């Protein structure tokens, strides 16, 4: 019986705009017209054509995702998703964050993209507690992979801008035995 290769799920430290991968995910805001943090970095690296394509998308609701080309980025596409702003945890933040991951994976799959990198959505300006967000991210990605028949992705990367995020992801992915060095 054919056993498809396992999806490589791992955390790396670095700048997501430098990754040569099918698609990177942007932690955007509902306007999709750019901002600070990873959003600003992605728009700067992709060039003005990205903003022009984003303008035509008409924004994006929290928890949802939209796709554009990558333009000057090494990544072929960008999936823009809008994470929740942290308001203490009782405003549906966990479910909305989980939706960002689920909808982004679904969108990538529907475009036949096989490698995808996520930043720590909502963990910067939007103030989501890092460990809690990382647990949701890893759980949601695993649930998505488990629900897909066959092998959906070759590689899923959690791209961490700082050491603290990297450690949090390494702990969480290692618990499931998915880091290559686990
Ligand atoms: N590569 C990877 N990760 C990065 C990079 C990068 N180049 N730059 C920052 N991060 P944030 P949010 C990390 O604030 O919390 C924007 O203005 C960062 O260290 O970018 O979802 C949008 O327009 C943190 O761990 O996104 C929205 O208004 C993570 O990316 C708002 O910020 C997310 O931090 C979204 O806030």
Give per-residue pLDDT as tens, 77-101: 999 999 999 999 999 999 999 999 9
Q: What are the φ and ψ backbone dihedral angles of 31, each rounded to 5 degrees?
A: -75, -25
Query: Which residue is listed with tokens 């933040």?
Result: 93
155: confidence class by pLDDT, cuts 50, 70, 90: very high
- CB of 165 within 6 A of ligand 1: the answer is yes
Mean model confidence pLDDT for the chain:
93
Q: Is the pLDDT confidence value at 181 over 60?
A: no
* pLDDT attached to residue 6: 78
**Range in 49-53, 122-126, 151-155, 160-164 with the lowest mean pLDDT:** 151-155
Question: How far does Cα 113 stand from its chain's mean position?
Answer: 13
Which tokens sit at 98? 């989980």
- pTM of the entire structure? 0.95
122: confidence class by pLDDT, cuts 50, 70, 90: very high
How confident is the model over 30-83, as pLDDT tens digits?
999 999 999 999 999 999 999 999 999 999 999 999 999 999 999 999 999 999
> In angstroms, what is the span from residue 40 Cα to ligand 1's centroid?
8
- CB of 161 within 6 A of ligand 1: the answer is yes
Contacts of 110 (CB under 8 A, 6+ apart): none
- CB of 65 within 6 A of ligand 1: the answer is no
> In angstroms, what is the span from residue 62 Cα to ligand 1's centroid?
15
182: confidence class by pLDDT, cuts 50, 70, 90: very low
The neighbouring-strand residues paired with 115 are 155
The neighbouring-strand residues paired with 67 are 79
Q: Is the pLDDT confidence value at 151 over 70?
A: no
* pLDDT attached to residue 174: 82
Query: Which residue is listed with tokens 């394509």?
Result: 53
Query: Which residue is listed with tokens 């992705």?
Result: 153
Average pLDDT over residues 8-20: 97
């Amino acid at each position: 019986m054919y056993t498809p290769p396992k999806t490589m799920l791992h955390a790396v430290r670095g700048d997501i705009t430098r990754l040569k991968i099918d698609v990177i995910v942007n932690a955007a805001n509902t306007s999709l017209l750019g901002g600070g943090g990873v959003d600003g970095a992605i728009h700067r690296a992709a060039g003005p054509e990205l903003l022009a394509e984003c303008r035509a998308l008409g924004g994006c609701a929290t928890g949802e995702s939209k796709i554009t080309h990558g333009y000057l980025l090494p990544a072929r596409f960008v999936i823009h998703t809008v994470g929740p702003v942290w308001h203490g945890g009782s405003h549906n933040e966990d479910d909305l964050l989980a939706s960002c991951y689920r909808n982004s994976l679904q969108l990538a799959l529907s475009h036949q993209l096989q490698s995808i990198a996520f930043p720590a959505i909502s963990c910067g300006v939007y103030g989501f507690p890092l460990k809690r967000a990382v647990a949701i991210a890893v759980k949601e990605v695993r649930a998505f992979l488990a629900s897909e028949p066959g092998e959906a992705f070759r590689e899923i990367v959690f791209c961490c801008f700082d050491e603290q995020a990297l450690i949090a992801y390494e702990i969480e992915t290692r618990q499931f035995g998915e880091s290559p060095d686990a």
